[in-house]
Structure 1
Amino acid sequence: MTAPIETTESQAGSQPESVLKGVKASQIEGRSLGRIAWNRFKRDKVAVAGGIVVILLVLLAVLSKPIQAMFGLDPNEFHQDLIDPALLSPKGSWGGMSWDHPLGVDPQYGRDILSRIIEGSWVSLLVAGGATLVSVIIGVIMGVTAGFYGGWADSLISRTMDVFLAFPLLLFAISISASLQDGAFGLSGLPLRIAVLIFVIGFFSWPYMGRIVRAQTLSLREREFVEAARSLGARGPFILLRELLPNLVAPILVYSTLLIPTNILFEAGLSYLGVGIAPPQASWGGMLSTAAEIYQADPQYMIVPGLAIFITVLAFNLLGDGLRDALDPRSK
């Protein structure tokens, strides 16, 4: 009589589930695509570091007002007693750095640089995030429509993208921002400027997202699961919402994280040119614009907001690269 063969843990992976005995459920549990992508992402330490920095920046922007109230910071409070009237520069060394002002003060009015950096964080992230949301919504709708239906719809939308891509965005942004400074659409002041920046940047940058979504849709519409849905009688809207869009989440998410730093730089550039966020509201681009005029008096006033923009853009780029590698390892 032959003795029964015992199944070891090393052999468990090659045995059918119906004959497994004494094997833990965790050893045969399947993993979802999201979990596999998360495991890939965790192994990329650089991308994880970028994600941590992004989370901290978002928390800083959301909690900027409570943080300032907690520590008694006021980004627009003048400290003329900290400015040397003869040299027109902060008293002391390193731009007037002290325990009360860890990053120093600006040479014009003695305003605390740290509080202005914190105040400018929510402005930059709000404009960049809002503009990215607008461009993603329009780009996904246009890209999916063009890629799925094809024909005259594809031709019309593609030519519209070409027109938008050839449009002088910077000149248009400067002109419309300058013309709407007093008031429009029931808004005025800072809310108006933020709304104009979100509209201009988001509305004219959607073709970049639209092209990527269109290319992905052209590839997905020929896949077997789409043909299977058609054979079962599914119509176009159902296929778009239930079959194509879930498979487009990964490229949309990745490109969105790469689009945010571009919008941050664009907002900073407009504020630097004086047609973005108007003073006395603090913004990183506005601080750079002021620093360009007083660079010789206090170079630190340019370095600090420049580093803030650099770290933010770098963190979002690292996060986007990590998400791309995790969600689509074949892109490496």
Structure 2
Amino acid sequence: MTTPPIATTAPAPGEPGTTGAASAPGRIEGRSLGRIAWTRFKRDKAAMTGGVVVILLVLLAVLAKPIEAVFGLDPNVPHSDLLDPNLGGLPLGSFGGMSLDHPLGIDPLQGRDLLARLIEGSWVSLLVAFGATVLSNTLGTVLGVVAGYYGGWVDTVISRVMDTFLAFPLLLFAISISATLQGGAFGLHGLPLHIAVLIFVIGFFNWPYMGRIVRGQTLSLREREFVFAARSLGARGPLILFKELLPNLVGPILVYSTLLIPTNILFEAALSFLGVGIQAPQASWGGMMNDAITYYQVDTSYLVIPGLAIFLTVLAFNLLGDGLRDALDPRSN
């Protein structure tokens, strides 16, 4: 008994199995890791909102001086004619003296425009926060990856240094250093000195947090196949650290940076609020809250406006950081 031959027909153009131009629309297009992460990030509406707010805040900080010049805003010009001497110097009118000329009102100390001071304080807070984040991330990344890769006594020494820094009462230490260097140091005076001191204090004493994260990731990555392959090809420690390990640590570093920036903003605001950060007459969000303490029981707007600016900034960075973590995590859906 013979089996009849099975008739085979070639698939029509456009059907599965065809090749050539006719099947081009049905091909599966390869996507890079960056494109996959961006697709995940776009699906997170909260993270997208946080990212847009962060971009607007950065633009506001960068363009603060041009905006003040275009709209004629001066954060230090007093408007004493708008203060009522019969009420202890409080602004005339309601809601802190809000008007078309002063949309957010004026402060009760000298009658300075709150909107102008809010814009002026934005670049100070973000400059300190970004500068401190860069400093702490640089130190933490370098020492963390070295400790995680080499291990042994190198890891022990660096880990004990981290523990020592983490044991410092950071707020009290920052207050003492900032208060000591208020007059002048390292050839700097005034606002440049205050900004440099804040960046150094916040960044230098916060690097162990990044160092621990990078060390933990490095301990896992150093056992991966691509590290063994690099060693087998003759690559030495420095080359493996900067060519193999660091590119794979960009994701965790980027995510933690977006979560560290708002922490640094809060730290700068706390120091300025306590009087050891940015000094008058330079506007800062923490300094504005300090100025409002005397009058918040009479009108809460003086305290709410800078507090709301800090709250929205911190919330936006946190939403952005959470979204980046979900987008860059290959195990997320």
User: TM-score of the superposition, structure 1-length normalised?
Assistant: 0.95
In the alignment, which residue of structure 2 is the partner of 1:73?
73
The whole-number CA distance in structure 1 between the counterparts of 2:9 and 2:40 is 43
Query: CA offsets, 1:56-78, max 9 Å, x none?
Result: 00000000000000000000000
Structure 1 residue 172, shift from structure 2 partner: 1.1
In structure 2, what is the equivalent of residue 198 of structure 1?
Answer: 199
Distance 2:28 2:46 in 1: 31
Instruction: Summarize the Cα distance change of 1:238–1:7 in structure 2 as closer, same or farther, 3 Å threshold.
Output: farther
Using a 3 Å threshold, how does the CA distance of structure 1 residues 157 and 25 change in structure 2: closer, same or farther?
farther
Shift of residue 224, structure 1, vs aligned partner = 0.8
Q: Which residue number in structure 2 is paired with residue 253 of structure 1?
A: 254
Q: Which moved more, 1:297-306 or 1:34-43?
A: 297-306
Please say if residues 109 and 291 of structure 2, whose CA atoms lie closer than 8 Å, have aligned partners that are also in contact.
no
1:235 alignment counterpart: 236
User: Once the 2 structures are TM-superposed, how far is the Cα of residue 269 of structure 1 from its aligned partner?
Assistant: 0.2
Deviations 1:164-208 (A, max 9, x none): 001111111111111111111010000000000000000000000
Q: Which residue of 2 aligns with 1:3?
A: 9
Aligned to 2:3: none
Residues 184 and 193 of structure 2 are in contact (CA less than 8 Å); yes or no, is this contact kept in structure 1?
A: yes
Please tell me whether the aligned partners of residues 82 and 91 of structure 2 are also in contact (alpha carbons under 8 angstroms): yes
Q: Could you list the per-position Cα deviations for residues 120-163 of structure 1 after superposition, in whole angstroms to 9, with x for gaps in the alignment?
A: 00000000000000000000000000000000000000000000
**Distance in 2 separating the partners of 1:245 and 1:25:** 38
Residue of structure 2 in register with 1:312 after alignment: 313
Greater Cα shift, 264-273 or 166-175 = 166-175
1:107–1:298 CA contact under 8 A, matched in 2: no
CA distance in 1, matches of 2:332, 2:221: 16
Instruction: Count how many residue pairs are aligned between Structure 1 and Structure 2.
Output: 326
Aligned equivalent of 1:330: 331
CA 1:331–1:212: 2 relative to 1, 3 Å? farther
Matched residue, 1:48? 48
Which residue identity is paired with 1:174?
A: I
Contact 1:7 1:20 in 2 (8 A): no
Q: CA separation of 1:117/1:139 partners in 2, compared to 1, >3 Å: closer, same or farther?
A: same
CA contact (8 A) 1:324 1:331 kept: no
- Displacement after TM superposition at 1:20 (Å): 5.1
Question: How far apart are the structure 1 equivalents of 2:60 and 2:27?
Answer: 41
Contact 2:80–2:110 (8 Å) recurs in 1? yes
RMSD over aligned Cα atoms = 1.5
Runs of 4+ in 1 over 4 A off after TM superposition: none
- Secondary structure, in 3 states, of the residue corresponding to 2:23? coil
Q: Is the 8 A contact 1:7 1:21 kept in 2?
A: no
Cα deviation 1:217-270 (Å, max 9, x = unaligned): 000000011111111111111111111111000000000000000000000000
CA–CA distance in structure 2, aligned partners of residues 133 and 142 of structure 1: 14
Supply the distance in 2 between the matched residues of 1:91 and 1:294 (Cα, whole angstroms).
14
Q: How does 1:92-241 map to 2 (within 5 A)?
A: 92-241=93-242
Alpha-carbon distance in structure 2 between the residues aligned to 1:126 and 1:21: 54
Report the Cα distance in structure 1 between the residues aligned to 2:312 and 2:51, rounded to whole angstroms: 12
Deviations 1:88-113 (CA, angstroms, capped at 9, x unpaired): 21101111110000000011111000
| d(CA) in 2 for partners of 1:242, 1:176 | 38
Displacement after TM superposition at 1:7 (Å): 5.7
CA distance in 2 between counterparts of 1:27 and 1:291 reads 63
Distance across 2 between alignment mates of 1:23 and 1:237: 48
Instruction: Report the alpha carbon displacement of residue 23 of structure 1 after superposing the two structures with TM.
Output: 2.5
Give the Cα separation in 1 of the matches to 2:124 and 2:26.
46
Q: Using the aligned pairs only, state the percent identity.
A: 73
Gapped runs of 5+ residues in structure 2?
A: 1-6
Does residue 82 in structure 1 map to residue 88 in structure 2? no
Return the offset for 1:331: 6.2
* Contact in 2 for aligned 1:89/1:298 (Cα 8 Å): no
**CA drift at 1:318:** 0.2
Comparing 61-70 with 172-181, greater Cα deviation is found at 172-181
TM-score, normalisation: structure 2: 0.95
SS at match of 1:230: helix
Contact between 2:83 and 2:92, CA under 8 Å: does it hold in 1?
Answer: yes
What residue ranges of structure 1 are gaps of 5+ in the alignment?
none
3-state DSSP class of the match of 1:176? helix
